[in-house]
C-alpha cells in the first residue's frame, strides 16, 4: 500500500507537487538555519550551548511527531498527499536529532569520550536518548525506494520501530526536566493521541 | 588636519574609560534592544536601579573574572516568574518590592514584623565577589552587595532552642505569576543549620554590580550561600524563622531523592540524573572542574567534619 502511494500520484497534482515539495523542504530547514543564525549572533542567551542543544532536540521530537501524524492525516482527510511528505519529514527528524547529538558531543562535552560513555551508561535520560538515535539509523538508511523494494514486507515491520523511538524521545525529555513537566506532558499527550488515532482509524 | 594631536581633543570628546572598557557589553545591549521588537530577545526590563554605598571586602572575594551584568540578570532560575531561564527577566518587574517587610519569628528574644528599612539600617554594606554554582552544572561569578547574615541574626538574639534558620519567599501569585502553577510548593522555603547561617561567608544581598538588586535576582533582599548549590540561596525573603528542627526546603519537598537539605557543592556526589564533576562557567566554552564546596572548603569544610556527605547530600 505504501509503495502504491509513494510511486503513483495523480497526474493532475504533478504540477502542484513540483513546487510544493521543495517549499516544504526549505521550510523544514528554517529551524536549523534560525538556530545557527542565533548561535552566531549571540542571541541564544547566557548559556548558548545549552540552548542550542535543547532547541535542536525539541525540533527532532517535533518532526518525529509531525511524521507520525501523516498516516492518521491521510486516513482522516482521504487525501494521498500526507504520505508523500512522510519520508522527508522522518528524515528531517533524523537530521535534527543528529544535530542535537552532535551539539551534545561537540559543544557540550567537547569530545570527552569517557564522560560521554559514562553518561550513556549511568544516566537513564541519556541512555534512552541514545537508544532512540541508534534505532533511527536503520530507518534513515532504509528510507529510499530501493530499500523499500528490497525489504518488501519486512520494511514495514522494521519501520514500526518508529513507535518505540517516539516513546524513547518523549521519555528522554521527561527524565531530563528538573520540575516543570508541562512541555514533556504536552508531547506525551500528542503522541498518545496519534497512537489512538492509528488504532481507531485502522483500514 | 584629519588626525588630531592629543592636545586638540577636548576632554568632553573622550569616552569615559569605564564606558570604554565595557564597550562590548554596551554594543551587545544596544544590539539586543534593536532586535527586541522583532524577536522578544531576553533583555532585562528593569526600572532604574539606585547606586549603593559599599566597601569592597577583598578578603572574602574571589578575584576571578566577573560574569557580565547582562548574563547575571537575564539567565535566572526564579520559578516564581516562570521556569525558563529568560522568564524572570521578562516578568519580575511586576513584583512590588517597596514597601517590603520581613517577619522574624520563632525562638528569639526579638521577634515581629519589620520594615525592610529597619532591617537594613544598622548594617553597612560590602561587596562580596562569589562564585555561584547551579545544580544544573553552570556557574557564574557575581559581585554581590550585602552584609553578613550573622550580624543580622545576632540582633534578634536567638535562644538556645534556635538550631536552624528557616527562610520563606513572598507568596503573591498576582505579581509572581509563576506561582499560579504548582511547579513547586509555594511559597518557596529554604533553611540553614545555625552554624552555616553564622558562617562569615553567608550573606544577605541587596544588590549586585554596585546597584540595587534587580527583581529577577531576588529583590529586595536575598540569601547568598556560595558553597551550596544556587537553589539554597533563597530570593525575595519575606520571613526568617528561628526553629529547633531541620526546616522543610522546597526542592527537597519536590524531589527528596535528588535534593537534600544540605546541598553542598560536591563534585564527588552526583545528582542522580547527571554528574556534578564539571560545570560550564557562563561565557566560557570548555567546562571546568567543579571544586569541593565550590572552592570554599577552607572556610566551611569544618562544618561537616565527620558527616557522610553522600548521605547528607
CATH assignment at residue B262 = 3.90.420.10
Q: pLDDT (tens digit, 9 = 90+) per residue, B253-266?
A: 999 999 999 999 99
The residue ranges of DSSP E strands in A6-163, in sequence order, are none
- pTM: predicted TM-score of the whole model, two decimal places: 0.84
The whole-number pLDDT of residue B13 equals 56
Q: With CB atoms and an 8 Å threshold, state whether A175 touches B136.
A: no
Given its phi and psi angles, is residue B210 left (phi above 0), alpha (psi -120 to 50 degrees) or beta?
Answer: left
What is the count of structural domains for chain A? 1
On the question of pLDDT at B2 being above 80, the answer is: no
- The grid coordinates listed for A107 are 559543544
Q: With CB atoms and an 8 Å threshold, state whether A49 touches B280.
A: yes
User: Would residue A146 count as lying in a domain?
Assistant: yes
The whole-number pLDDT of residue B48 equals 76
User: Would residue A1 count as lying in a domain?
Assistant: no
Task: Print the domain residue range for A51.
Answer: 17-200
B69 touches chain A (CB under 8 A): no
The whole-number pLDDT of residue A1 equals 46
- The grid coordinates listed for B54 are 559599599
The whole-number pLDDT of residue B17 equals 57
Question: Out of A42, A123, A179, whose CB is closest to B28?
Answer: A42
Task: Print the domain residue range for B67.
Answer: 13-304
Mean local confidence (pLDDT), B163-177? 97
B interface test, pick of A47, A55, A181 with most B CB neighbours within 10 Å: A47
User: Omega before B99 cis (within 30°)?
Assistant: yes
Q: Determine the residue of chain A that is closest to B83 in CA distance.
A: A180
User: Would residue A67 count as lying in a domain?
Assistant: yes
Mean local confidence (pLDDT), B106-125? 97
What is the count of structural domains for chain B? 1
The whole-number pLDDT of residue B5 equals 53
Question: Out of B67, B86, B251, whose CB is closest to A45?
Answer: B86
- The grid coordinates listed for B175 are 505579581
The whole-number pLDDT of residue A14 equals 58
Q: Which residues of A touch B141 (CB under 8 A)?
A: none
- Positive or negative: CA dihedral B235, B236, B237, B238: negative
Question: Out of A42, A45, A110, whose CB is closest to B286?
Answer: A110
What is the secondary structure of B54-103 as a DSSP string?
Answer: -EE--TTS--SPPPPHHHHHHS---GGG-SSTTHHHHHGGG---SS-EEE
Q: With CB atoms and an 8 Å threshold, state whether B74 touches A45.
A: yes
Q: Say if residues B187 and B238 touch (Cβ distance below 8 Å).
A: yes
User: Would residue A49 count as lying in a domain?
Assistant: yes
User: Would residue B157 count as lying in a domain?
Assistant: yes
What residues of chain A score a pLDDT lower than 70?
A: 1-17
Mean local confidence (pLDDT), B134-158? 98
Write a three-state SS string for B200-262: CCCEEEEEECCEECCHHHCCCCEEECCCECHHHCCCCEEEEEEECCCCCCHHHHHCCCCCCCC
Q: pLDDT (tens digit, 9 = 90+) per residue, A85-111?
A: 999 999 999 999 999 999 999 999 999
| pLDDT more than 90, % of chain B | 84
Nearest to B128 by CA among B225, B216, B232: B225
> How far apart are the C-alpha atoms of B313 and B310, rounded to whole Å?
5
The whole-number pLDDT of residue B20 equals 55
Q: With CB atoms and an 8 Å threshold, state whether A49 touches B285.
A: yes
User: CB neighbours (10 Å) of residue B237?
Assistant: 23
Amino acid at each position: 500500500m505504501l509503495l502504491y502511494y509513494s510511486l503513483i500520484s495523480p497526474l493532475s497534482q504533478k504540477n502542484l507537487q513540483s513546487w510544493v515539495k521543495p517549499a516544504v523542504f526549505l521550510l523544514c530547514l528554517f529551524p536549523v538555519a534560525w538556530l545557527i543564525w542565533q548561535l552566531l549572533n549571540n542571541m541564544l542567551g547566557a548559556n548558548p550551548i545549552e540552548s542550542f542543544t535543547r532547541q535542536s532536540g525539541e525540533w527532532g521530537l517535533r518532526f518525529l511527531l509531525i511524521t507520525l501524524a501523516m498516516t492518521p492525516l491521510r486516513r482522516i482527510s482521504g487525501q494521498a498527499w500526507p504520505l508523500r511528505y512522510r519520508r522527508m519529514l522522518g528524515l528531517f527528524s533524523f537530521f535534527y536529532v543528529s544535530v542535537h547529538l552532535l551539539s551534545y558531543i561537540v559543544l557540550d562535552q567537547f569530545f570527552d569520550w569517557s564522560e560521554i560513555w559514562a553518561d550513556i551508561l549511568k544516566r537513564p535520560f541519556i541512555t534512552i536518548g541514545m537508544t532512540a538515535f541508534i534505532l533511527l539509523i536503520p530507518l534513515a538508511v532504509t528510507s529510499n525506494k530501493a530499500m523499500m523494494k528490497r525489504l518488501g514486507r519486512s520494511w514495514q515491520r522494521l519501520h514500526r520501530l518508529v513507535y518505540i523511538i517516539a516513546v524513547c524521545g518523549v521519555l528522554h525529555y521527561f527524565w531530563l526536566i528538573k520540575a516543570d513537566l508541562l512541555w514533556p506532558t504536552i508531547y506525551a499527550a500528542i503522541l498518545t493521541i496519534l497512537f489512538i488515532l492509528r488504532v481507531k482509524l485502522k483500514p | 588636519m584629519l588626525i588630531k594631536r592629543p592636545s586638540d581633543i577636548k576632554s568632553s570628546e573622550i569616552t569615559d574609560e569605564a564606558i570604554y572598557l565595557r564597550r562590548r557589553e554596551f554594543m551587545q545591549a544596544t544590539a539586543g534592544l534593536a532586535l527586541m521588537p522583532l524577536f522578544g530577545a531576553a533583555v532585562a526590563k528593569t526600572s532604574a536601579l539606585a547606586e549603593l554605598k559599599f566597601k569592597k571586602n577583598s578578603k572574602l572575594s574571589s578575584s576571578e573574572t566577573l560574569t557580565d551584568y547582562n548574563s547575571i540578570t537575564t539567565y535566572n532560575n526564579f520559578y516564581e516568574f516562570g521556569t525558563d531561564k529568560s522568564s524572570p527577566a521578562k516578568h519580575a518587574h511586576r513584583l512590588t518590592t517597596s514597601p517590603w517587610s520581613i517577619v522574624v519569628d520563632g525562638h528569639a528574644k526579638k521577634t515581629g514584623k519589620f520594615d525592610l528599612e529597619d532591617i537594613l539600617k544598622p548594617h553597612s554594606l560590602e561587596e562580596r565577589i562569589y562564585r555561584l554554582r547551579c545544580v544544573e552544572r553552570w556557574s557564574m561569578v557575581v559581585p554581590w552587595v550585602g552584609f553578613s547574615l550573622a550580624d543580622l541574626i545576632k540582633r534578634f538574639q536567638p535562644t538556645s532552642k534556635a538550631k536552624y534558620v528557616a527562610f520563606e519567599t513572598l507568596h503573591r501569585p498576582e505579581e509572581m505569576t509563576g506561582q499560579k502553577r504548582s511547579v513547586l510548593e509555594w511559597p518557596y522555603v529554604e533553611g540553614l543549620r545555625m552554624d552555616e547561617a553564622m558562617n562569615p561567608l553567608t550573606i544577605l544581598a541587596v544588590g549586585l554590580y554596585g546597584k540595587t538588586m534587580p527583581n529577577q535576582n531576588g529583590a529586595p533582599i536575598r540569601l547568598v550561600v556560595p558553597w551550596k548549590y544556587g537553589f539554597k540561596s533563597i530570593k525575595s525573603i519575606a520571613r526568617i524563622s528561628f526553629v529547633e528542627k531541620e526546616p522543610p526546603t522546597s526542592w527537597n519537598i519536590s524531589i527528596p531523592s535528588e535534593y537534600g537539605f544540605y546541598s553542598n557543592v560536591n563534585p564527588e556526589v552526583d545528582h542522580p540524573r547527571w554528574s556534578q564533576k564539571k560545570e560550564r562557567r557562563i561565557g566560557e566554552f570548555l567546562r571546568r572542574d567543579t571544586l569541593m564546596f565550590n572552592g570554599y572548603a577552607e572556610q566551611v569544610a569544618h562544618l561537616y567534619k565527620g558527616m557522610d556527605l553522600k548521605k547528607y547530600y
